[in-house]
Each structure stands twice: as structure tokens, then as C-alpha cells.
């Protein structure tokens, strides 16, 4: 049979009687698929697999433990025969043909009146693939399409909002990572591909906004430290209002929504207003941006733990110890005060400090100094947000660290290669 001779369609079998002849693994798989579609399944077979017997015992299907009879096809809408005996399958198929009932014959693909495609479900999309009578090829294609849908590489977005889903908008707080489009999660990318509305921050993988369909609405609510063009209360309100209009809303945030990103407040506000929320973690700048400059926030022999704080927060509670790394976000404006506070808390003036501006972006820049020098260096170089400031001996591991920062303690570490040629290193 040539592929152009088949007519793809989707059967709605909900509540309709169907027949499965055979009790083996193939029959069990098909019976399960038919049950999933809501059909009333009768299985005719002298023996049945444990899976089929369990379904029968649970009352989900009827199992007739006997051989097939011609009148079994009477009154059913669809037949699957998979007895493993070609003679019986042929008899079932010809009885079905005589009754004008569609029948899939598992033992004779060529003469079968209907074929079962390889199927995958991604959200509310069902993919069915027939591939010239080659089931493995069909499965490989199905898997590839499903993966592309799951990763957001294929457009999964609804174009038509069905009546019963109209009131069911949702909000996804998606952590987009620090800016490089490759650092968003697969789940985040997929939700972005399904979004009707994207509420976007200034930081994060903004290039992904260019890939959205033209009718996806982008609402810019970007903040810079100390300057919030759209107040948080308005952002919360926008999320809820859009979702209540039935839209799928993605709140695309830089880094991770729950790391100094006010994601908790947004999620809480949505839930208080009856809006379904999903939180998709992201790659936080607190860890990844130092990594972009070859700085691990912990490192054997140097630091056992780390704290992430905002620069303008009280630093006196942070462990001021040689084996503890301090990571400051939004810290450039208060760098001088933060460095003094950490000095007063007990960190020596020669504690290494690294500042990574625009991590993962083409203009990434690294400035390395010490607690005693860093504020002057940053001022002289015009260091600006967004930047992550790392304080602690782990900075010595960076390939950008000057040679006198390196000691035998960690000299066995092979340094990362600098990521971009545009990275500029400033040392005292
Ligand atoms: C409001 S906080 C949001 C943090 C975010 N939730 C996260 O997990 O990365 C913004 C701060 O994150 C840091 N940041 C975010 N992206 C950055 C990047 N690409 N390069 C340097 N710093 C970045 C900066 O310290 C910036 O001021």
C-alpha cells in the first residue's frame, strides 16, 4: 500500500464499543490506547497478559477468555486484531470488512484496512506518524517531533482558544538565565513558545523575544537598581489580569525567579487571585556569572560555602571567613560601603574580589582586585550594573586573576579559558 493511499483522520471513540482480538503484548498495548481514548473495550482471547487481566479485574475492560467468533465484530465501531496467528487475524479482518468496520490487522500490515500510527502527546497536542510501513522509522520521527515540541523549537502556541479553556489562563515564572539564550531551561523555552503574553525584564535572554510570533504581546517591565519604571504592584496586577483574560502568560525573568527576583511575591499574588502558576527555575547569575569568568563559588581547599546578598543589604550577618565566598548582586552602587563593611566584619584587605559585568554577553568584562582596592578600581574603570561581585579566595582560581594571586594551594586547577576575546581584565 502506498502512503498516499491512506487518509489520516482522528477517531473519537469515547463511550463506543470496540473489539480487541488477542491477549498478548501488542493487544494489551492497543487495548490500553483505546481505553485512553475512552472506548468501551472488549478483549477476546483464550489467554491474556497480566496487564490485560489487571485491566479486566479493575473493571476497565471486558475480557472474554475464549477463542474468536465471527459475531464478535457485530455492533463494534473498530477492531484491532493481534492474536499472533495470521490465519485468525485474517479471519477477523475479513469479518470486519464484511461489516464495514475498520480493522487494524497486526499480522498483515499490507492488507490491513487501517494502520496504527506512532503516537506522542505533548500538552494538548497529539502527534501521529505513519512512515511507509516502517514502525521504527515512525517512532524515531515521532520522538524527534515530540522533542522539538517539548523544547519549544516547534510552535506549540494555541491559535484558537477553545470555549472550555477560555477562562483558564496561567502564569509561568520562567527563569531565563543571565542573558545567553542557551542558558534558559528546556521547559522555560517551551513555555515561552506557548505564551500569548510575555512580561519581560531588562536582564535575561532578551534575544529570545525576537523569535516570538508577531502576535505575541511583549510587556516590558524592566527594572534597573533603584529605578523601577513599572512598580512591582503593577507587575503583579498585569500578570493576574492577563491570565484572567485566558492568556498564557510567561513572566520572563533574568537568572532564577526565586533568587533576589521577587518571584515569590509574584507567585503568591497570582495564587491569591486564583491564577494557576508554574515556576521554572533558571540559571542564577549569582553562580553562573562568576563561572563565566572562571570563578567557582565553592572550591576544594578554598571555600566550603557561599552567601548571596544584595550589595545594599546589611552585610554584618554574612560569615566573614576565609573559607566562605560572598556574592553580591546589584552591588555596584554600594561597593565602597560593602567592602568597608566586610573589612569591619573581619575580612582582610587583601581578600580577592572579582567583578563580572554583563556576564555571558558580548561585552562581558572582568575586574579583579582586593577588598582594599576594588572600590577605586571599579570607579576608575566605570564599572556598572549588571554585575556580580565575588569576594573570597575562589577569585584566585579565575584565569583572569593576576599571577601574584595564585598560590600552590590551587595551582593544580586547570583554569577555564576566557570565554570571549572581548573580555577585558583590569588588575591593580
Ligand atoms: C534583580 S537581580 C536578579 C537576579 C536574578 N534573579 C538571578 O538569579 O540572577 C539583578 C542582578 O543580577 C545580577 N545579574 C543578572 N544578570 C547578570 C549578568 N548577565 N551579568 C552580571 N550580573 C548579572 C546583577 O547583579 C544584577 O544587578
Q: Does the beta carbon of 255 lie inside 6 Å of ligand 1?
A: yes
- In this model, does residue 80 exceed pLDDT 90? yes
Residue 281 CB neighbours (<10 A):
17
Q: Does the beta carbon of 204 lie inside 6 Å of ligand 1?
A: no
The per-residue pLDDT for range 298-345, each reduced to its tens digit, is 999 999 999 999 976 678 888 889 999 999 999 999 999 999 999 999
pLDDT at 4: 82
Rounded CA separation 390/19 (Å)? 67
The Å distance, Cα 376 to ligand 1 centre, comes to 22
Whether residue 33 is found in the same domain as residue 111: yes
Pairing type for strands 40-44 and 62-64 reads parallel
Q: Which of 288, 241, 289, 231 is nearest to 265 (CA)?
A: 231
Q: pLDDT confidence of 161, banded at 50, 70, 90? A: low
Q: Which domain holds residue 65?
A: 3-116
Q: How many Å from the N-terminal Cα to the C-terminal Cα in the chain?
A: 77
Q: Does the beta carbon of 263 lie inside 6 Å of ligand 1?
A: no
Q: Does the beta carbon of 329 lie inside 6 Å of ligand 1?
A: yes
Q: Quick check: is 427 in a domain?
A: no
Q: Whose CA is nearest to atom 25 of ligand 1?
A: 329
Whether residue 290 is found in the same domain as residue 397: yes
Shortest-distance atom of ligand 1 to CA 389: 25
The per-residue pLDDT for range 221-253, each reduced to its tens digit, is 986 666 667 999 999 999 999 999 999 999 999
The CATH number assigned to the domain holding 275 equals 3.40.1010.10
Q: Where are the alpha helices (DSSP H) in 151-231?
A: 186-194
The Å distance, Cα 316 to ligand 1 centre, comes to 22
> Which residues form the catalytic set?
201, 223
The per-residue pLDDT for range 259-275, each reduced to its tens digit, is 999 999 999 999 999 99
Question: What is the count of structural domains for the chain?
Answer: 4
DSSP designation for 385: S
Shortest-distance atom of ligand 1 to CA 311: 25
Q: Which of 172, 212, 171, 176 is nearest to 193 (CA)?
A: 212
- In this model, does residue 158 exceed pLDDT 90? no
pTM of the model: 0.76
Q: Quick check: is 412 in a domain?
A: no
For 49, the grid coordinates are 497478559
- In this model, does residue 421 exceed pLDDT 80? no
Cβ pair 161, 176 in contact under 8 A: no
The per-residue pLDDT for range 16-55, each reduced to its tens digit, is 999 999 999 999 999 999 999 999 999 999 999 999 999 9
- In this model, does residue 122 exceed pLDDT 80? yes
Q: Quick check: is 204 in a domain?
A: yes
pLDDT greater at residue 280 or residue 425: 280
* Unique residue bearing C-alpha cell 575586574: 367
Indicate the burial class of 382 (C-beta count within 10 angstroms; 0-12, 13-18, 19 or more).
exposed
- DSSP line for 237-254: HHHHHHHHTT-EEEEEES
Q: Which of 248, 271, 277, 278 is nearest to 167 (CA)?
A: 248
pLDDT at 411: 36
Whether residue 298 is found in the same domain as residue 384: yes
Amino acid at each position: 500500500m502506498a502512503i498516499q493511499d491512506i487518509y489520516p483522520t482522528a477517531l473519537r471513540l469515547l463511550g463506543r464499543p470496540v473489539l480487541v482480538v488477542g491477549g498478548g503484548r501488542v493487544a494489551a498495548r492497543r487495548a490500553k490506547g483505546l481505553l485512553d481514548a475512552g472506548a468501551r473495550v472488549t478483549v477476546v482471547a483464550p489467554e491474556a497478559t497480566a496487564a490485560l487481566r489487571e485491566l479486566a479485574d479493575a473493571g476497565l475492560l471486558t475480557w472474554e477468555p475464549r477463542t474468536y467468533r465471527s459475531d464478535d465484530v457485530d455492533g463494534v465501531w473498530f477492531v484491532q486484531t493481534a492474536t499472533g496467528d495470521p490465519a485468525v487475524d485474517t479471519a477477523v479482518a475479513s469479518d470486519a470488512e464484511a461489516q464495514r468496520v475498520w480493522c487494524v490487522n497486526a499480522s498483515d500490515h499490507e492488507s490491513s484496512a487501517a494502520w496504527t500510527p506512532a503516537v506522542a502527546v505533548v500538552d494538548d497536542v497529539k502527534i501521529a506518524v505513519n512512515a511507509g510501513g516502517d514502525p521504527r522509522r515512525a517512532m524515531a520521527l515521532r520522538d524527534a517531533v515530540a522533542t522539538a515540541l517539548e523544547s519549544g523549537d516547534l510552535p506549540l502556541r494555541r491559535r484558537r482558544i477553545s470555549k472550555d479553556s477560555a477562562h483558564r489562563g496561567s502564569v509561568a515564572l520562567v527563569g531565563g538565565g543571565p542573558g545567553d539564550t542557551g542558558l534558559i531551561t528546556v521547559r522555560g523555552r517551551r513555555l515561552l513558545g506557548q505564551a500569548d503574553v510575555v512580561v519581560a525584564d531588562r536582564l535575561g535572554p532578551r534575544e529570545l523575544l525576537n523569535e516570538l510570533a508577531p502576535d505575541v504581546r511583549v510587556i516590558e517591565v524592566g527594572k534597573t537598581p533603584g529605578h523601577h519604571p513599572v512598580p512591582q504592584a503593577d507587575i503583579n496586577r498585569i500578570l493576574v489580569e492577563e491570565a484572567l483574560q485566558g492568556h498564557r502568560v510567561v513572566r520572563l525573568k533574568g537568572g532564577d525567579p526565586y533568587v533576589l527576583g521577587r518571584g515569590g511575591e509574584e507567585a503568591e499574588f497570582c495564587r491569591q487571585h486564583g491564577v494557576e502558576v508554574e515556576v521554572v527555575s533558571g540559571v542564577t547569575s549569582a553562580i553562573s556569572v562568576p563561572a563565566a569568568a572562571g570563578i567557582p563559588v565553592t572550591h576544594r581547599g578554598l571555600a566550603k560555602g557561599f552567601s548571596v546578598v544584595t550589595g545594599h543589604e546589611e552585610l554584618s550577618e554574612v560569615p566573614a571567613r576565609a573559607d566562605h565566598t560572598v556574592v553580591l548582586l546589584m552591588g555596584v552602587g554600594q561597593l565602597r560601603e560593602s567592602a568597608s563593611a566586610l573589612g569591619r566584619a573581619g575580612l582582610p584587605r587583601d581578600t580577592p574580589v572579582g567583578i563580572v559585568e554583563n556576564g555571558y554577553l558580548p561585552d562581558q568584562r572582568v575586574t579583579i582586585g582586593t577588598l582594599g582596592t576594588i572600590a577605586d578600581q571599579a570607579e576608575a574603570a566605570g564599572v556598572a550594573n549588571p554585575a556580580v561581585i565575588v569576594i573570597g579566595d575562589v577569585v584566585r582560581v579565575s584565569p583572569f586573576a593576576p599571577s601574584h594571586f595564585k598560590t600552590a594551594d590551587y595551582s593544580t586547577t586547570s583554569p577555564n579559558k576566557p570565554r570571549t576575546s572581548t573580555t577585558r581584565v583590569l588588575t591593580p
